[in-house]
Amino acid sequence: MCVDGAADMGKSSARTHGQENERRIKANNREYNAQFRYANNYIKTSKYSIITFLPLNLLEQFQRLANFYFLCLLVLQLIPAISSLTPITTAIPLIGVLALTAVKDAYDDFQRHQNDSQVNHRRAKTLRNGKLVEEKWASVQVGDVIRLENDQFVAADILLLSSSEPNGLCYIETAELDGETNLKCRQCLLETAAMGQDDAQLGAFDGEIVCETPNNLLNKFDGTLSWREQHFSLDNDKILLRGCVLRNTSWCYGVVVFAGKDTKLMQNSGKTKFKRTSIDRLLNFLIIGIVLFLLSMCVFCTVACGVWEWLGGRYFQAYLPWDTLVPAEPASGAIVIALLVFFSYAIVMNTVVPISLYVSVEVIRFAQSFLINWDEKMYYEKSGTAAKARTTTLNEELGQIQYIFSDKTGTLTQNIMTFNKCSIAGVCYGDVIDENTGEIMEVTD
């Protein structure tokens, strides 16, 4: 009875009305942590699934005014009283435009799915009953104790427990998070560092962590570890964030605090959104102007038609089935005919709005993405790294960049220090290398 009450109290203190106000974690205790329904370590950066692709993609495409215009035009062509053209004349081009864009968007999102799958299927060593077991990153849960080895990516946000270095130190590279290539030092509590790499002790570790809720602050962490009737303060210097790489450290152990979408890396990534380029916004503005011009022509022609029908009679009745729509009285009949003719003119003059415009832009973007990937001037020979266009919808935005802001660490440079020459007590040591030829230069007095 007391255990249930304590669990209920812990659950209510960790969440209020479904909103997390603090996080409680027990190491190596999945049953306890499961009650809080913390996020698993699965990540998703793709925009669509098989079920949501069609409705979401169509919703995005109809945000383009030209597509929406032709959809309205197609609806008008389904009304026999105002249309002398078959709806197929608009339906086929519109479906072709939507299908071509959908294929391109599906290709982009398929690549995102592949990247997500590659990350989620990375292997992590997790302690289960005092033994290391290899699991997929996606299977790692909050409270699990995992082992990292040198040059490995950190699978989740973890509290450092022990490491191979003296005094519980370890070194990480945070280039994936903040672009800085210099190594950062982290240090675990000396009390937990004593466990070393003893899997039995680490598997029996039952410390309870009470910490802040998930947030996007990379340099801030507040929490408390309760273990063996003692309380230890936790800060950012004891946390390894997802996306970091373990460097110059043979191994380390840590307990997962935040996983998956709750990690600080994913909190900073934000939700995948439909991004509209400056050209898309410009095209929408131009389409509005073209549509207004088209409507003004339709109004002019409608007024002229109304005057003509008033003076000359219902000449269009022989061509359109208006017998049941147009009143027999001349004045009223002329007004009705003019209103119907307005939409007829909009259908007849629909080619003023270029439906092929977006198709041309999409084809150009798609082809340009391959040119970026094949650009030899952006190929880095030392690492065999080529440029990669991760999306085919934002290529032209590269040409809109006016300023590049870089902090004092120089994220656009490499920190490569090469010893050339020094003088000790008047004696010169080392060789001077010619930067152009790479050969040793002779230095004469």
- Model pLDDT for residues 255-310, shown as the tens digit of each residue: 999 999 999 999 888 666 667 778 888 888 888 898 899 889 988 888 887 777 66
Query: Would you state the pLDDT for residue 328?
Result: 54
Strand pairing category for 145-149 and 251-258:
antiparallel
Crossing angle for the helix pair 53-61 and 88-120, to the nearest 10 degrees: 120
Cβ neighbours of residue 183 under 8 Å, at least 6 residues apart? 171, 172, 173, 247, 248
pLDDT digits (tens, 9 = 90+) for 347-376: 888 888 887 787 788 888 888 888 988 988
237 known member of a binding site: no
Residue 167 falls inside a structural domain: yes
Residue 15 falls inside a structural domain: yes
How confident is the prediction for the chain on average, in pLDDT? 82
Residue 29 falls inside a structural domain: yes
Query: Would you state the pLDDT for residue 163?
Result: 94
The total number of structural domains in the chain stands at 1
Residue 11 falls inside a structural domain: yes
Query: Would you state the pLDDT for residue 11?
Result: 47
Q: What is the mean pLDDT of residues 414-439?
A: 72
What is the percent of the chain where pLDDT is above 70? Answer: 82
Neighbouring C-beta atoms of residue 325, cutoff 10 Å: 15
Give the CA dihedral 149, 155, 158, 161, nearest 10 degrees: -20
Query: Would you state the pLDDT for residue 309?
Result: 67
Q: Which domain holds residue 164?
A: 2-41+140-269
Whether residue 203 is predicted with pLDDT greater than 80 in this model: the reply is yes
Query: Would you state the pLDDT for residue 332?
Result: 59
Query: Would you state the pLDDT for residue 6?
Result: 39
Residue 163 falls inside a structural domain: yes
CA atoms of 189 and 345, how far apart (whole Å): 79
Q: What is the mean pLDDT of residues 375-401?
A: 83
Q: Which residues pair with 133 in a beta bridge?
A: 126
Q: What is the mean pLDDT of residues 217-232?
A: 91
Query: Would you state the pLDDT for residue 326?
Result: 55
Task: Please give the residue that has the higher pLDDT: either 185 or 412.
Answer: 185
Q: Residue 212 gets which letter from DSSP?
A: P
Cα–Cα distances (Å) from 75 to 82, 90, 355, 410, 442, in that order, read: 11, 10, 16, 57, 83
Q: What is the mean pLDDT of residues 232-249?
A: 93
Q: How far apart are the first and last CA of the chain?
A: 89
CB of 162 closer than 8 Å to CB of 170:
no
What is the percent of the chain where pLDDT is above 90? Answer: 36
| Closest to 160 measured CA to CA, from 174, 146, 176, 150 | 146
Residue 90 pLDDT class (50, 70, 90 cuts): confident
Q: What is the mean pLDDT of residues 156-161?
A: 94
Residue 220 falls inside a structural domain: yes
Q: What is the CATH number of the domain that holds 148?
A: 2.70.150.10
| Closest to 161 measured CA to CA, from 132, 209, 196 | 196
Kindly report the pTM of this predicted structure: 0.69
Q: What is the mean pLDDT of residues 128-156?
A: 93
Whether residue 335 is predicted with pLDDT greater than 80 in this model: the reply is no
Residue 79 falls inside a structural domain: no
Residue 104 falls inside a structural domain: no
409 known member of a binding site: yes
407 flagged as catalytic: yes
Query: In the numeric block, which tokens belong to residue 253?
Result: 């152990």
Cβ neighbours of residue 99 under 8 Å, at least 6 residues apart? none
**Catalytic option among 323, 407, 434, 445:** 407
